[in-house]
Amino acid sequence: MNGPWRPFPRPWVIAHRGASGLLPEHTLPGYALAIEQGADVIEPDLVASADGVLYARHDLGLARSTDIASRGEFSGYRRPGVDGSEDWWIEDLSSAQIDSLRAIQPWPQRPHERDGAFGVPRFSAVLALLLMERQRRERPLLVYPELKHPQHFRRLGIDVVELLARELESVGLTGPDAPVLVQCFERDCLDRVRSRIGVRVVQLSIDLPTLDGTTVDGYGVSKQALMTPAGAGFIAAAHQLGRVVHAWTFRDDQPHVDYAPVDECARAFEQGCDGLFSDFPATALAARARRQRAAQVRVLSLVGAQVAPFLPALAALRIRVFREWPYLYDGDADYEARYLQTYSRSARSLFVLALDGDEVVGCATAIPLSDASEDCLAPFVGAGIDLDTVCYFGESVLDRRYRGRGLGHRFFDAREAHAQSLPKLRYSAFCAVQRAADDPRRPPDYRPLDRFWSARGYLPRPDLLAQFAWKELGGDRPESNTMMFWLREWPP
């Protein structure tokens, strides 16, 4: 059971609490909408009633996600919980009482038109929906329940593992081939699930967990921990052990500071995540589709003079892309020809081309710094850095239509692999133009790439500055611009 498990031919889209960004979380219509949108997995959190029935709810308290606070017949059940907060606790209510409640949207910024329209589903109803949709759609849908607070319930005399086993056994969903994956933060709970039911299990963790010899089938880890250089290493190491890695949670209405929601999901897929928990499955599906389209773009690596047939197209691409902020480059074909010759004449240079059919839609370059133009050398000479130990990444340009598809990572991967083939490598480096934060020409939607570069392991070096001159849009002569280098140091 610890071997690689790939129930889907592509990364998973996990409907976190259903399509919970659009409909109240943990409702049958919310799960059904997610499946209709194309999600691979529905994810119910499970808690138990006083009489031992599993329900799909995230919290022990019911005030946040149901109408119980407005129901007079339940007023006497409000009490302080173990954390001191006042609520109506699920373990105090019978299944008959919970069946009478209606779900509401717990997030104030999300649609509330369907508050009260749907009931609170038992886990048995979620399983029935799964089996019906698997048969109707003839595709391998999974259910991915999280056991919430198992120790809390055991202290109350309620064994949620045994309750889960009974529900799954009643519909024949046991063993490692069942379309079920059970998740929990508590490892001993997962061990009991595996022993009692035989289904696959996933260890949840906020931080990067320790990879060990224990028998879990994967990890569900916070996106904040996974979307780092250490996270990329963890994913690769987990894959070596045959374990999947899923990232949580992606929400359109809680966007990343530097990325649109679909771009954030695309970056997570490119990082190597096997699946994403998303409150907005359609967004994660769009990111996955973009990734699949990017896979159709051919990436070609050429050395030195091999690039000659592509030089005119590369010159035109550089001129087109560098017209945009922050470079505002008013390109010159003659200059481009001279510039690109610096790379094509070096037997140790690398051109990484992205081709859609015969069209060049992207390019990235690398060259030993000792072979680069004089403009690049002075800061390193002044800092006493041996030029032969540095691989310089000259540019990474990509047609706007192809951005956000993970090609930037593929460019870096190819160039870093080339850099590591150089005998004296210690650093890989590139430089970026410096612009004032209040420059009126800066587009309001511009997102700098600093976080992307940092996630790749590069650090800004304010002590390494170079001056490059080019004619800007609207200008009549070349002007000097400051470029700052970013460096990644490689182990000896």
Do 107 and 165 belong to one domain? yes
Q: What is the pLDDT of residue 215?
A: 83
User: For residue 335, is pLDDT > 90?
Assistant: no
Domain membership flag for residue 4: no
Q: What is the pLDDT of residue 47?
A: 98
Structure confidence by residue, pLDDT tens digits, 122-171: 999 999 999 999 999 888 999 999 999 999 999 999 999 999 999 999 99
Structure confidence by residue, pLDDT tens digits, 11-61: 999 999 999 999 999 999 999 999 999 999 999 999 999 999 999 999 999
Q: What is the pLDDT of residue 445?
A: 79
Annotate the chain with three-state secondary structure.
Answer: CCCCCCCCCCCEEEEECCCCCCCCCCCHHHHHHHHHHCCCEEECEEEECCCCCEEECCCCECCCCECHHHCHHHHHHEEECCCCCEEEEHHHCCHHHHHCCEECCCCCCCCCCCCCCCECCEHHHHHHHHHHHHHHHCCCCEECCEECCHHHHHHCCCCHHHHHHHHHHHCCCCCCCCCEEEEECCHHHHHHHHHHHCCEEEEEECCCCCCCCCCCCEEEEEHHHHCCHHHHHHHHHHHHCCCEEEEEEECCCCCCCCCCHHHHHHHHHHHCCCEEEECCHHHHHHHHHHHHHHHCCEEEEEEHHHHHHHHHHHHHHHHHHHCCCCCCECCCHHHHHHHHHHHHCCCCCEEEEEEECCEEEEEEEEEEHHHCCHHHHHHHHHCCCCHHHEEECCCEEECHHHCCCCHHHHHHHHHHHHHHCCCCCCEEEEEEECCCCCCCCCCCCCCCCHHHHHHCCCEEEEEEEEEEEECECCCCCCEEEEEEEEEEECCC
User: For residue 446, is pLDDT > 90?
Assistant: no
User: For residue 388, is pLDDT > 50?
Assistant: yes
Confidence band of 3 (pLDDT split at 50, 70, 90): very low
Domain membership flag for residue 266: yes
Q: Which domain CATH number covers 456? A: 3.40.630.30
pTM of the full structure: 0.68
- Of 339-343, 386-390, 413-417, the range with the lowest mean pLDDT is 339-343
Do 361 and 247 belong to one domain? no
Domain membership flag for residue 149: yes
Structure confidence by residue, pLDDT tens digits, 208-263: 999 987 789 999 999 999 999 899 999 999 998 989 999 999 999 998 988 899 99
Confidence band of 436 (pLDDT split at 50, 70, 90): very high
Do 375 and 304 belong to one domain? yes
Do 268 and 320 belong to one domain? no
Mean of the per-residue pLDDT values of the chain: 93
The domain boundary, picked from 295, 312, 334, lies at 295
Do 55 and 141 belong to one domain? yes
Domain membership flag for residue 277: yes
- Of 268-272, 293-297, 372-376, 478-482, the range with the lowest mean pLDDT is 293-297
Do 345 and 290 belong to one domain? no
Do 353 and 410 belong to one domain? yes
The domain boundary, picked from 249, 277, 295, lies at 295
Q: What is the pLDDT of residue 1?
A: 42
Domain membership flag for residue 2: no
What range does the domain containing 128 cover? 12-295
Domain membership flag for residue 6: no
Domain membership flag for residue 43: yes
What is the number of domains present in the chain? Answer: 2
User: For residue 309, is pLDDT > 80?
Assistant: yes
Do 256 and 335 belong to one domain? no
Structure confidence by residue, pLDDT tens digits, 411-421: 999 999 999 99
Do 234 and 368 belong to one domain? no
Q: What is the pLDDT of residue 296?
A: 78
Do 254 and 361 belong to one domain? no
Do 26 and 131 belong to one domain? yes
Structure confidence by residue, pLDDT tens digits, 166-207: 999 999 999 999 999 999 999 999 999 999 999 999 999 999
Domain membership flag for residue 1: no
Do 43 and 183 belong to one domain? yes
- How many percent of the chain have pLDDT more than 70? 99
Q: What is the pLDDT of residue 334?
A: 83
Structure confidence by residue, pLDDT tens digits, 448-492: 899 889 999 999 999 999 999 999 998 989 999 999 999 999 998
The domain boundary, picked from 243, 271, 295, lies at 295
Q: What is the pLDDT of residue 4?
A: 54
